[in-house]
Amino acid sequence: MGTDADDPTDEEVVEAASEAAEGMVFSRLATGDVDDLDITVTFEDGTLDVDVYVHAPDADEDVEQVAEDAALAARAAVDDLFAAED
């Protein structure tokens, strides 16, 4: 990831990652099953950090796996964002 003027802003990176993570969670879990969702995304000095916490005790899915997949989706969205800028 370069420091090109055409690179996405930190805000765009955080927004893309957050939206992708949330989208993944709600594509796998029913909104009514999710009691708590916390997605924390930081992007500083070219380093992306994504933490996803999902509390959905009544969900049929493996909630821990959904959280991991959401974090991966966030990272992939950021990769796509930078690839689109090249």
Q: CATH number for the domain including 67?
A: 3.30.300.100
Q: Is residue 32 part of a domain?
A: yes
Q: What would the pLDDT profile of 41-61 be if each residue is shown by its tens digit?
A: 999 999 999 999 999 999 999
Note the pTM of the prediction, 2 decimals.
0.90
Q: Is residue 53 part of a domain?
A: yes
| Residue bearing the bigger pLDDT, 45 or 85 | 45
Residue ranges of E strands in the chain: 36-44, 47-55
Q: Is residue 78 part of a domain?
A: yes
Which amino acid would we find at residue 39?
I
Chain centroid, CA 59 distance in Å: 20
Q: Is residue 43 part of a domain?
A: yes
pLDDT band at 85 (very low <50, low <70, confident <90, very high): confident
Provide the number of structural domains found in the chain: 1
Q: Which domain holds residue 62?
A: 10-85
